[in-house]
A and B are shown apart, each in its own frame.
Chain A
Amino acid sequence: MKIFVCIKQVPDAKDVRLDPKTNTLAREGVQSIMNPYDQHAVEEAVRLKELLGGEVTVLSMGPPQAEEVLRQAISCGADHAVLVSDRAFAGADTWATSYTLAKAVQVIGAFDLLLCGKQAIDGDTAQVGPGLAMRLQIPYVTCVQKVRQATDSGLILERMMDDGYDVLAVDFPALLTVVKDINEPRVPSLKGKMRAKKVEIRRLSAADIGADPACIGLPGSPTQVVKVFPPEARCKRAVFTGSLDEQIVQLVDSLQSYL
């Protein structure tokens, strides 16, 4: 059983702010972390490996420092790590990113299952997983909340819907995106940490994956950001006065239109 997991290094959300004066990202003290959903994807891959045997390969498209999250994944039980990195990938939107990852996957080799987090918390698009599956011409299931049954040939899954969930069956090869309900990621073992330090990370450039320059990075991106600005501040504010009981009356008065 060969399982690939796509992971992304993202800025920790609690640190990200636009400087109101300059309209630029305040960058002091911004920590980088493994995208939270991807931690669940790595965990699920390792669990399936423990159940069915095989190997887990993690890959990430990003700058050289994205190596950190690949090593973190190794410490949590992944076997191999691949960094897909090239200055030419900069400015990629989800279309160009899924192209790049698909090319990388084809170079890395055959697989049974590809796992991704539901979305990355910096862009929140949830588009790369489905895009990647389309390019690889394999079926996909998004927002998987539970693997009910796993065999050498396929899976039975629960996929989160807005009003409940669907139970689905899919054969390998397939791609899943996972939500955090699927599992509780483990804490890295000491042995895992040792391995993470020493493991050799394979590097793939744009040339290595045979990428068409017109399909990667900014030139390959159909969407372009034309403006970045801070969200409108919430302004209406009411302060109630008096005893708590009086304040409750005032509150319910204020909410009259919703009753």
Chain B
Amino acid sequence: MDIRVQEAAFDYGAECARFADGRSGIGAVVTFCGVVRNDGGSLQAMEIEHYPGMTERALRQIAEEAGKRWALADCLIIHRYGRLTPGERIMMVATASAHRADAFAAADFLMDYLKSRAPFWKKESTADGSEWVAAKSADEAALARWSRRA
């Protein structure tokens, strides 16, 4: 398990290759990358704040929970903070498993949980000023589908 919270950009291609390389006994690697979306074309920057200490702890707990639910050989979470511009990569997850169903489900689970259970907050800046992004009720609802299966 590899969890990284960092301000610096990461090399998505290199991280995916490094994660997948040199493994035997697995048949599936799933990777996901989140990108700063420019809704409406007016976004100038996105500032991501986090809670150092709790962030790493929460991500580790989420990854450990994924490891209990699915047969994972490994997982990787990288999440950035600080000032990002549209098109920049915010975060990535990767999961490795014997079969693709576990790798897909675990990656989906990691994304749902880290959206609303890891202490990150986004603030968007446009020419009109800046505003904190509100949590979506759909994100909270997304967690319910995992609790039914628990």
Q: Do A and B associate with each other?
A: no
A-binding residues in B (CB < 8 A): none
B-binding residues in A (CB < 8 A): none
